[in-house]
Chains A and B, each alone.
Chain A
Amino acid sequence: MFIDPRRCIGCRACVSACRECGTHKGHSMIFVDYLDRGHTTATMPTICMHCVEPTCALVCPADAIKVSEDGVVMTAMEPRCLDCRNCVNACPFGVPKYNTAMHLQMKCDLCFDRTAEGLKPMCASVCPTGALTYGRYEEIVPRRRGVRPVNVHVFGRQRVATRVYLMLPIEEDDLCVDETAEPSFRESWLDAQVENADKRNEF
C-alpha cells in the first residue's frame, strides 16, 4: 500500500468506501484530517501503517491484536478486547478506533476480506487521484516520478518501520515528526469544531 498525501484532494471517497468493508461493517477506519483549515485546504489521509513492531499490539493487556502472516496488524480479537483503549492512545499514527458500548476496538486491516482474495482495499479502489494506491512495489514505484516510497517514520527519538509506504520528496529518507512549537499553538476555530469523538477516535 502506498500513500501520497500530496495527491489527496480531501474528497473523502475513501472514508465512505471504507464503511463498505466486510470486516468493520458500517464503520470507517480511515481518517482524512485537515491540517489547518484557517490557512490551507491540505488534507492528510491516514490509514494503519502496519508497523513491523506494532506499539498497539504490544501495549494491549489482553494480547488481542495479532499480526497476520503477511504482516497485516489486525483489529483486536472480539472475545479478548477489554475496551481499555491503550492501543488508541499509544499508536503513534492515531489510528485505532474504539466503541465502549460494544467493547470493541477496530482499526484498518487493509480490508482483509478483499486483499485476501487479491482485491484492492476499498479506499484504494475509489481514490480518484492515486493518493491511496495498492499494488506491488515493482509495479507502483516506477510509475511515480519525483517521489520516493519510504516506510520509516521517526517520532521524536523513536524510529518506526512500517509495511505501508509513504511517498516522500525524492531526497528524503524518512519522515520526522516532532512538536517543536511551544504552547503558543492556537487551534483555528474551524478545526476546533471537529467533534470530540473524532479527537478521541470513537466510532
Chain B
Amino acid sequence: MKDEEWSSLATARVRALIIAAAASAALTALIYLGSRRLEHYDAALFGYTVASVIAFGAIIFRYAIWLRRPATRRYWLRGWQLFLDRKNLGRNLRSIVGTAFGNLVAQRFILRRSRTRWLMHALIMWGCIISAAITFPLVFGWIHFELEGARAYRAYLFGFPTVAVDGRSIVGWVIFHALDFTAIMVIAGCAIAIHRRLRDRGAIAMQQFALDFAPHLLLIAVSVSGLMLTVSSLWLGGYMYSFIALAHQALVIMTLFYLPFGKFFHIVQRPASIGVELYQNRGREMAQARCARCGAEFVAQAWLDDLKGVVRELGFDYRLKSGRTLQDYCPRCKRVMRGLAYAALAQRSGHD
C-alpha cells in the first residue's frame, strides 16, 4: 500500500473512531437521562450496560468504515439525495415504506428462496428483535416496573407511568415470560439453520465455522442459559441461579461484541437495501443506458454513470479506443466482444 493510501486509511479510522466514541457517549447520556439520572437504573445490570455501550460504538465504527468503500459511499449519498428530493417526497416515502415492509418485515425475497429458510430466519429475527426490545430498555433503566396494590405491576417508560398489568393474569404471565418464548423461537430457528448447514452440500462446501456456525451456537447458548434462569427460579428454588446469571451475562456480552463482525453485521447493513431499491425505482423512470453494441437497455444511465465513477475511483481504467468504457456494453456483448477478439487472434495465426 502506498504512503498516501496508508495516511488516508489512518485518517478514516481516526474519524470513524471519533464518530463511534461520540455515539457511545450519546448512548451513555441517553441512559443517564432516560433512567432519570440513574434513579431507575439497576446496578446489577452494569455489565450489560457497559457491553452495550462498547458494542454500540463498535457497530458505529464498523459502519463508518464500511461507508468508506467507494461504492457504498456513493450509493449511500445517492439514496439520501433521491429521498430528500422534494418533488418526489410522497412517492419516495411510499417506495421506502413498501421496501421496508417487503424486504425487512415480510422478507419475501427469502420466502422465494425457500419456505424453510424463511421460517428459520423469521424465528431467529423476531426472537432476537423482541428480546432486544424488552431487554435493552430494561438494562438502560428506560423501563421499570413498580408494584401497585397487591398484584398489579405498573410499567414506567422513561419514568412516566404507562399501563398496569395484573401479575397473575394470563396477559401478565405472557409478558413476564416473553423472553422464554423468544428464546424458544431463537433455538428453533437456529436448529433449522444448523440442520440445513449439516445436510446441504452447497452450504457444507461454502460455510466457515466462525462465520456461519459460531453465531448460531452463540444464540443457542444465550437462549438456553436464559431459559435455565427461568427453570432455576420456578422449579429448582433458585439452584445455581447466580452462576447461571453470570454465564448468561458472559454469553450475551460475547454476542454483543460479535455484532460488528461476520454474519451479524447484516443486521445493521441490510436496511441499506431500502436506499438501493429507491434508486432502482427512481432509476426506472430515468433515461436508460443502451448497450453501445446491441442497443439493449440494461440499466439506468445515472446508475451506470455512478458505476463508472466507482470503477475509476477504484483505480481501474476500462476506457476503450472508441472513447467509451467497457461498462457501456451489456454483459452479453462484453462476452461476445471477447469472443470476437479471440476469434481474430485465431484467424490471424491460421488456426481456423
- Mark A residues whose CB is within 8 Å of B: 5-6, 21-25, 31, 33-36, 40, 42-44, 46, 55, 58-63, 74, 78-80, 82-86, 88-95, 101-104, 112-114, 116-117, 146, 153, 155-158, 166, 168-172, 175-180, 182-183, 185, 187, 191-192, 194, 196, 198-201
Contacts and interface: CB of A to CB of B under 8 A. Distances in A.
A92 B273 contact: no
A44 B311 CA distance: 26
B196 interface: no
A61 B113 contact: no
A157 B319 contact: yes
Nearest to A156: B320
A115 to B, nearest CB: 9
Contacts of A185: 293
Contacts of A60: 71
A166 B327 CA distance: 22
Nearest to A96: B331
Interface stretch (B150-158, B162-170, B296-304): B296-304
A88 B331 contact: yes
A178 B264 CA distance: 43
Contact of B345 (A42, A46, A168): A168
B64 to A, nearest CB: 14
A54 B351 CA distance: 31
B311 A175 contact: no
A130 to B, nearest CB: 15
12 contacts: A25-B202, A44-B339, A59-B71, A83-B276, A90-B310, A95-B331, A156-B318, A158-B318, A171-B349, A179-B293, A196-B296, A199-B294
Interface of B: 66, 69-72, 74-76, 103, 109, 112-113, 200-202, 204-206, 263, 265-266, 269-270, 272-273, 276-277, 280, 291-296, 298-299, 304, 307, 310-311, 314, 316-322, 324-327, 329-343, 345-346, 348-349, 351-352
A126 B267 CA distance: 41
B317 A156 contact: yes
Contact of A102 (B109, B324, B349): B109
B332 A172 contact: no
Given A5-B342, A179-B320, A23 B202 contact: yes
Contact of B205 (A58, A112, A168, A171): A112
Contacts of B276: 61, 82-84
A113 B296 contact: no
A79 B211 CA distance: 12
Contacts of A158: 316-318, 326
Contacts of A88: 331
B266 A80 contact: yes
B339 A33 contact: yes
A81 B321 CA distance: 34
A172 B351 CA distance: 13
Given A89-B307, A103-B109, A169 B346 contact: yes
A201 B291 CA distance: 13
Nearest to A23: B202
Nearest to A43: B339
A175 to B, nearest CB: 6
A79 to B, nearest CB: 4
Contact of A156 (B75, B103, B265, B326): B326
A103 B341 CA distance: 34
Given A90-B307, A194-B332, A200-B298, A179 B292 contact: yes
Q: Which one of B265, B293, B319, B345 has the highest number of Cβ atoms from chain A below 10 Å of its Cβ?
A: B345
Contacts of A187: 293-295
Contacts of A180: 321-322
B301 to A, nearest CB: 12
B316 A55 contact: yes
Contacts of B338: 44, 46, 93-94, 153, 175, 177
Given A84-B276, A113-B204, A199-B294, A178 B321 contact: yes
Contacts of B70: 59
Contact of A33 (B75, B318, B329, B332): B332
A6 B346 contact: yes
A35 B346 contact: no
A92 B318 contact: yes
Contacts of A62: 72, 269, 272
Contacts of A116: 205
B115 to A, nearest CB: 13
Nearest to A115: B205
Contacts of A58: 71, 314
Contact of B341 (A84, A177, A198, A199): A177
A155 B270 contact: no
Given A55-B311, A153-B338, A200-B296, 20 more contacts: A5-B343, A33-B332, A35-B340, A36-B340, A59-B307, A60-B71, A62-B272, A80-B269, A83-B276, A85-B299, A86-B307, A92-B334, A94-B334, A112-B205, A113-B201, A158-B317, A166-B342, A177-B341, A179-B324, A183-B292
Contacts of B202: 21-25, 113
